[in-house]
Structure 1
Amino acid sequence: MQLIDIGANLTHESFDRDLDAVLERARAAGVVQMLITGASREHSPMALELAQRHPGFLYATAGVHPHHASEYTDECDAEMRALHAHPEVVAVGECGLDYNRDFSPRPAQRKAFERQLQIASENGKPLFLHQRDAHDDFIAMMKNFDGQIGPAVVHCFTAERRELFDYLDRDWYIGITGWLCDERRGAHLRELVKHIPAERLLIETDAPYLLPRTMRPLPKDRRNEPAFLSHIVEELARDRGEEVAVTAANATAATRALFRLPPV
């Protein structure tokens, strides 16, 4: 069984001490490829560097998360464009809107998002999207680029039925994380994931965040890591009424199609 983690924040400081061991555990758990999330001016170049150190196994995204939108200057835009000149960078983002925490002012979020949509419209790479509590503005901004941008994945989907079907109606991919395993916040996803077509369903850990709460035993440090992707797939398959091997194979095929990853 081959698995691909489409979202792992391996440039996070919690992986500094044992990254090689984390990668080995991922391989042992069937993870054959990963996308390292670039979500800021600081971490997008780090994601590329990490991907370059592990060719064929790790790939990168490059973008600025809405939390960091205030840092999106002309110089930042030039830096993002330079990163996207590298073949190891396979998606534009993480980018989008987050009105839940408003760590950056909403006008700054919209401006940074628009500039990254422009990059995607020019280079043809897929989008790695973030949306939280900003659905209507998010859809409106994406509609402004209809016919100009390629495919997209809504990473770490946690929202409700209306949002899901709006995304599926636009043929976007959906990324499911360990949020599915959170009985406090993610119980509604158990039903919703049944409606995601197999060719649009992707899987991710969002490590080190969103440790699946149904894992036993839980790691003492409560850090999520790519090796735990297999647990998410098992839960997802059960909720969809599928064999685990089927869910895994479909997600892997969909991921390679979206990000144009080679087989291994």
Structure 2
Amino acid sequence: MLLVDIGANLTHDSFDRDRDAVLARARAAGVAQMVVTGASREHSPLALQLAQAHPGVLFATSGVHPHHATEYTDECDAEMRALHAHPQVVAVGECGLDYFRDFSPRPAQRRAFERQLQIGADLAAAGNPKPLFLHQRDAHADFLAIMKDFEGRTGPAVVHCFTGTREEMFDYLDRDWHIGITGWLCDERRGAHLRELVKNIPANRLMVETDAPYLLPRTLKPMPRDRRNEPAFLSHIVEELARDRGEALETTAAASTATAAAFFRLPGATA
């Protein structure tokens, strides 16, 4: 069983002390490849550096999360475009809207989102389409409206770390977007509704991720003392996902890996 973690924040400073050991544990747990999330002006270049240091195993995204939207200047846009010249950068983002925390003003979030979608459109127009790695929380209507402006002009899209409603999920699926499922599924306080919803995601639209070091699965036993999530725990998420979908573990694992390989155009990611 080989797995692909499509979203791991491996540039986070909590991994500085043992990043090589984290990668070794992931491989031992069957996580063959990981996409390192680039979510800020500071961390997107670091994600590329990690991918370059671990060819064929780590890949990167480059983008600016809505929390950091105020840093999206013309200079930042130029930096993001330069990062996308590297083949190890396999997706545009993490980008989108987050009205739950509003760490950046909403107009700034919308502008940063639109500028990054324009990068995706420009890459597609140049014959080098890259998928979109998207974030949406409590901003569904604005999110759909902005995405509609770029309809048919970008590569495929995944709404990563999906935590939303049934209506939101079907809005995404109706647009042929992909869904990323995390350990939120394992949170009886906030994620119980996902256990029913995941049955409705077509296998070729479903991918899995840890969002490490965040979202440690609450059903994981034993829990790590530091409560840090890491890619090695992806197999636990997939086990729960398979059970909720009424599938064999091997079926869910193989399908999610094949979907991720096709979506990000990863070399050698076969189950």
State whether TM-score is above 0.5: yes
CA drift of 1:150 comes to 1.6
Which residue does 2:126 correspond to in 1?
A: none
Letter in 1 for 2:32: V
Cα deviations across residues 189-243 of structure 1 (Å, max 9, x unaligned)? Answer: 0000000000000000000000000011100000000000000000000000000
TM-score (norm 2): 0.97
- Aligned counterpart for 1:221 among listed residues 223, 226, 231: 226
Q: Secondary structure at the match of 1:223?
A: coil
Deviation at 1:259, TM superposition (A): 0.4
CA displacement 1:43-64 (0-9 Å, x = unmatched): 0000000000000000000000
Percent of pairs identical after alignment? Answer: 79
Q: Show the counterpart of 2:190.
A: 185
**Structure 1 spans left out of the alignment, 5+ residues:** none
Match of 1:16 in 2: 16
Q: Partner of 1:58 in structure 2?
A: 58
Paired letter, 2:7:
G
Cα distance, 1:262 vs structure 2: 0.9
2 CA distance for matches of 1:169 and 1:122?
24
Q: Tell me whether 1:116 sits opposite 2:116 in the alignment.
A: yes
Secondary structure of 1:103's match?
coil
1:103 is matched by which residue type in structure 2?
Answer: F
In 1, Cα distance between equivalents of 2:169 and 2:162: 8
- Which consecutive aligned stretches of 4+ in structure 1 deviate over 3 angstroms post-superposition? none
> 1:122, CA displacement in angstroms?
1.0
Q: For residue 229 of structure 2, give the secondary structure of its aligned residue in structure 1.
A: coil
* Of 198, 204, 228, the match for 1:199: 204
Which sits farther off after the overlay, 146-155 or 201-210? Answer: 146-155
Matched residue type, 2:93: G
CA RMSD for the aligned pairs? Answer: 0.4
- 1:150 alignment partner in structure 2: 155
Paired AA for residue 72 in structure 1:
Y
What's 2:86 paired with? 86
Aligned to 1:45: 45
- The 2-side partners of 1:261 and 1:171 are apart by 20
Equivalent-residue separation in structure 2 for 1:216 and 1:261 (angstroms): 31
Scaled by the length of structure 1, the TM-score of the pair is 1.00
| Counterpart for residue 5 of structure 1 | 5
- The answer as to 2:263 corresponding to 1:258 is yes
Aligned residues: 264
Shift of the alpha carbon at 1:263? Answer: 1.3
Instruction: Name the CA distance, whole Å, in 1 between partners of 2:29 and 2:155.
Output: 32
SS in 2 for 1:175: strand
